[in-house]
């Protein structure tokens, strides 16, 4: 039968600084940036605006990555929000865009989004857990390297 022993170690400020482990320090900054970098290949991309927007919207070093924009939520969850009224700019019969009436709150429609994988083959919903499953070790390796841990 195994015995479990709990131990807490408190690093003094100098040791934390030496290894860049202070809150918002170089290790956390590396983790945040690596998280965004690795996520780029999973975020839906027509122009890469959503994926790259995290660099500007995230306070690198905070430990919280932000994907801003009115469409980030439904892109992440993979569900069409509506009401959506089609816009026809030509005679092709295919809508060139959609709009929603002002003052109408959008809500989930139950219809799944169809993601293009032409530019980003791994693009799709729930990109965070998919990226983490594939690249947690890569992110940790980068963080350990910055902290001077082998």
Task: Please give the backbone phi and psi of residue 85, each rounded to the nearest 5 degrees, phi first.
Answer: -105, 125
Which DSSP state fits 102? T
| Torsion angle of C-alpha atoms 137, 26, 38, 44, degrees rounded to 10 | 140
Residue 99 forms beta bridges with which residues? 85
Long-range contacts of 47-52 (CB under 8 A, 24+ apart): 48/119, 48/120, 50/75
pLDDT tens digits along 19-65: 677 788 899 999 999 999 999 999 998 889 999 999 999 999 999 99
pLDDT of residue 6: 62
pLDDT of residue 12: 67
The predicted model gives 86-98 an average pLDDT of 86
Q: How far apart are CA 56 and CA 1, in angstroms?
A: 52
Q: Read off the pLDDT band of 16 (50, 70, 90).
A: low
């Amino acid at each position: 039968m195994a015995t479990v022993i709990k131990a807490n170690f408190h690093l003094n400020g100098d040791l934390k600084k030496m290894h860049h482990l202070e809150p918002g320090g170089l290790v956390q900054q590396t983790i945040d940036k690596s998280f965004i970098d690795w996520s780029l290949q999973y975020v839906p991309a027509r122009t890469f605006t959503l994926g790259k927007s995290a660099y500007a919207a995230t306070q690198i070093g905070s430990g919280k990555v932000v994907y801003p924009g009115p469409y980030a939520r439904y892109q992440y969850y993979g569900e069409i929000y509506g009401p959506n009224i089609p816009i026809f700019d030509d005679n092709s019969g295919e809508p060139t865009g959609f709009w929603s009436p002002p003052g109408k709150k959008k809500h989930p429609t139950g219809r799944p989004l169809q993601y293009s994988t032409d530019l980003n083959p791994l693009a799709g919903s729930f990109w965070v857990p998919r990226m983490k499953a594939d690249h947690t070790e890569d992110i940790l390796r980068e963080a350990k390297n910055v902290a001077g841990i082998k």
